[in-house]
Amino acid sequence: MEPLTLSTFPRAIVHIDGDAFFASCEQSRRPKLQGRPVVTGKERGIAASMSYEAKARGVTRGMRIADIRKVCPDAVILPSDYETYSLLSKRFFAIVRRYTPDVEEYSIDECFADLTGLRRPLKMNYFEIAARIKKELDAELGFTFSVGLAPNKVVAKIASKWAKPSGLTAIPGKELHRYLAQLPVEKVWGIGPNTTALLQKHDIRTALEFARASEDWVKKYFSKPFFQIWQELNGAYVFELAIGEHETYYTIQKVKTFTPASSERAFVFAQLAKNIEHACIKIRKHKLAAQRVVIFLRTQQFRDFGLEVELTGPTQFPNDILRAVTPAFEELFSPQAAYRATGVILLKLTEAYYGQLDLFGEAIRMQRLSNLYESVDTLREKYGKHTVFLGASFLAHRSAQHDSERGHVPERKLELLPGETTRKRLGIPMFMGEVH
Amino acid sequence: MPSYSELTAVVGFRSTNAAYKLVTQLVDHGWLEKDTAGKLLPGPRFHAVPVLGTVTAGFPSPAEEELADTMSLDEYLITNKEATYILKVNGESMIGAGILPGDMLLVERGAEARDGDIVIAQVDREWTMKFFRKRGRRVFLEAANQDFKPIYPTEELQIAAVVRAVIRKYT
């Protein structure tokens, strides 16, 4: 078979993926859970992550807890402990940054890193560097990672998936065709069901068949992103890494599930209001302001209904956003439906600045709101998140977020050290269980 | 600051144009600045000496400079930040080593255990804290409490972490 390219690693990109990340975070800190089917997401009522033991028993992401108990009665179902997962995620990226500053934090449990040019300073070849990073991750975080080394991001993704879990796969350019020949085209990152259907009409089933298609043909039938995927499948480096710690928030999103599902207008609106308040806390923390808002309601059947609202000016206060989205909420809400979650996304973020004076006293009003929320934020820092809130979200604060909140609080939040409170804990992950 | 003609005389240039070029260079490099009227002012680099702290009654404050060589309690207790975990002690097996139930440990995951280290091992799906002992090629775990027998592993001994510090907070 003819290779797609003759070079090996003109660029050396690794994709690193935590194996069953959340479930592994749980297993690695509690020896009792090792080797057992573990599922996280109890507080949401659906599986957010499952250990390989649980996957082997047929538990899938998004499966309802009741169904999990049917297919896998001995599954250990735990509430998500995002605080701990985030701490471990930060460590994951920090360990990769020991080797290269060029790290893209793609999501909480995966990243890309550029190793190009590190062979000489580290006196190792790219495969050895990738192996070393994997070894340190596995040893220091206490669970396994899958690593793929390739000339670009699209192929690195294929490589990391090649031998999951705990895989370490290198796909040099000149070997690329051997891997792509075995890979169904829909497994390629970015190729969805629609594109797959179109490709199948043209008798393209494997990633190699797509890679071997002519440039003119690809350009004729597909948009730019797919042409770029095609280029990367041929070994080129096209998709740049988005480097840097996630400090720039392009959007701010808050979604919260509640059980039981509700058809009560005031209650669902209160849930939305609470999310808006939370999103605004975050936006103020980052000293940003939003110019556009998306709200959505999720029904019991997991269908989302959303609307986008343009604000009259950038704001970071829930009062403004609530007023602007109320008509949209009225349009979305149907009393016949039962809702299980609401969400808000703040978009078009700019730096908060209310300097400009205007004829209608808008600047003065903003200054007043700004003073008010400065006090609100001070109170929150001192006494906790829900010290003061808007009347609009009262109903959402009155009851627990979930019907039976018992057993839905992560163990770490109950296992406090002297001096810790439910609001503030040491930023170091904890080993759980008895120590004898 | 001198004017261009004064500068021409000081430096020994023949024309003010040469002085102008020199000034432009100095401005570019941050030694000088021009105000809105084009008058020269000392630039940011002109006084670029390290500012160590504010001085009150004419006596220099050495505090800032001295503090540069200190470390936080975190830095003192934690060597490998990414591999350090906390855990709470329940048992009494290390009482002879001064580790009591309720104490908090800082442990380093993935570190290699040396003879005499206190380690967190995984035995029968439980955490256990013991001395790590190495006699030739043989390894075993030993408690600091006569009520506990040494553990001789039948399979490979799973050492999860090495204890680096014990913290006891009195409230």
When scoring B84, B109, B147 by the number of chain A Cβ atoms within 10 A, the one with the most, hence best to mutate, is: B109
Q: Which two tokens stand for residue A274?
A: 């609470």
User: How far, in Å, CA of A424 to CA of B74, rounded?
Assistant: 17
Q: Given a cut of 70, is residue A92 above it in pLDDT?
A: yes
pLDDT-derived band at B47, boundaries 50, 70, 90: low
Q: Can you give the pTM of this predicted structure?
A: 0.71
Shortest CA gap A90–chain B (Å): 9
Contacts of A140 in chain B (CB under 8 A): 80, 82-83, 109-110
Q: In this predicted model, what pLDDT tens digit does every residue of A214-239 receive, in sequence order?
A: 999 999 999 999 999 999 999 999 99
- Report which listed range, A296-300, A383-387, B48-52, is most confident: A296-300
Report the pLDDT value the prediction gives residue B121, as an integer from 0 to 100.
Answer: 95
What is chain B's mean pLDDT, rounded?
85
Q: Mean of the pLDDT values across residues A29-52?
A: 91
Residues A435, B120: C-beta atoms closer than 8 Å: yes
How far apart CA A157 and CA A383 sit, in angstroms, is 45
Model confidence at B52: pLDDT above 70: no
**Taking CB atoms and an 8 Å cutoff, what residues of chain A touch B106?**
428
pLDDT mean across residues, chain A: 90
Nearest to A233 by CA among A254, A210, A259: A210
Write phi, then psi, for A340 (nearest 5 degrees): -120, -15
Please tell me the predicted confidence (pLDDT) of residue A248: 47
Q: Which among B104, B110, B125 is the nearest to A34, CB-wise? A: B125
To 5 degrees, how large is the angle CA A322–CA A327–CA A329? 75
Q: Which CA distances in Å does A433 have to A26, B51, B89, B110?
A: 11, 51, 10, 19
Q: Residue A383 contacts by C-beta under 8 Å, 6 or more apart in sequence?
A: none
Of the candidate ranges A159-163, A402-406, B124-128, B141-145, the one whose mean pLDDT is the lowest: A402-406
**d(Cα A156, Cα B73) in Å, to the nearest integer?**
41
pLDDT digits (tens, 9 = 90+) for B92-120: 999 999 999 999 999 999 999 999 999 99
Q: By the CB < 8 Å criterion, does B122 face chain A?
A: yes
Q: pLDDT confidence of A14, banded at 50, 70, 90? A: very high
* Interval A45-73 mean pLDDT: 93
- Please tell me the predicted confidence (pLDDT) of residue B16: 81
Q: Is A417 in Cβ contact with B104 (below 8 Å)?
A: yes
Instruction: Say whether pLDDT at B38 is over 80.
Output: no
pLDDT at A115 over 70: yes
Q: Do B126 and A428 touch (CB under 8 A)?
A: no
Q: Is the pLDDT of residue B163 over 90?
A: yes
Residues of B carrying an active site annotation: 93, 130
Are B85 and A436 within 8 A, CB to CB? no
The answer to whether the beta carbons of residues A389 and A319 sit under 8 Å apart is no
Q: Assign B58 a pLDDT band (cuts: 50, 70, 90).
A: low
Q: What tokens appear for A301 in the block?
A: 């059947």
Tokens of A48: 């957010």
The tokens for A86 are: 């985030």
Pick from A135-149, A226-240, B3-17: least confident = B3-17
ipTM over 0.85: no
Cα A39 → chain centroid: 17
Q: Which of B82, B104, B105 is opposite residue A91, by nearest beta carbon?
A: B82
Q: Which of A139, A140, A436 comes nearest B93 by C-beta?
A: A436
B141 touches chain A (CB under 8 A): no
Residue appearing with tokens 């995927």: A229
Going across the sheet that includes B118-123, the strands are: B84-88, B104-109, B158-167, B118-123, B126-135, B138-142
CB atoms within 10 A of CB A340: 20
DSSP-derived 3-state class of residue A104: strand
Taking contacts as CB-CB distances below 8 angstroms, the residues of chain B near A29 are 85
Q: What angle do CA A207, A208, A213 make, to 5 degrees?
A: 100
pLDDT of residue A213: 96
Could you tell me if B8 lies within 8 Å of chain A, comparing CB atoms? no
Say whether B109 and A141 touch across the interface (CB within 8 A): yes
> What are the tens digits of pLDDT across the range A302-322?
777 888 888 888 899 999 999
Q: What percent of chain B has a predicted confidence (pLDDT) above 70?
A: 88
Q: Sort out which chain B residues have CB atoms less than 8 A from A429's CB and list them.
A: 85-86
Q: Which of A282-286, A427-431, B157-161 has the least mean pLDDT?
A: A282-286
Element (H, E) at A299: strand A288-299
B169–A426 CB contact, under 8 Å: no
pLDDT of residue A358: 66
Joined together, the tokens standing for residue A318 give 């829930």
Query: From the candidates A26, A132, A431, which should be mutated to test the interface with B, based on the most B CB atoms within 10 A?
Result: A431
Q: Indicate yes or no: CB of B126 within 8 angstroms of CB of A415.
A: no
> Could you read off the pLDDT of A227-270 as tens digits, one per residue?
999 999 999 999 999 886 554 446 788 888 888 889 999 999 99
Dist CA B57 CA B145 (whole Å): 60
Structure confidence at residue A273 (pLDDT):
95
In sequence order, which ranges of A163-238 are alpha helices (DSSP H)?
A: 176-181, 193-201, 207-212, 215-221, 224-233
Contact A297, A342 (CB under 8 A): yes
Cβ of A140 and B93 within 8 Å? no
Residue B50 has pLDDT above 70, yes or no: no
Tell me if A351 sits within 8 A of A288, measured CB to CB. Answer: yes
B99 to chain A: nearest residue by CA?
A436
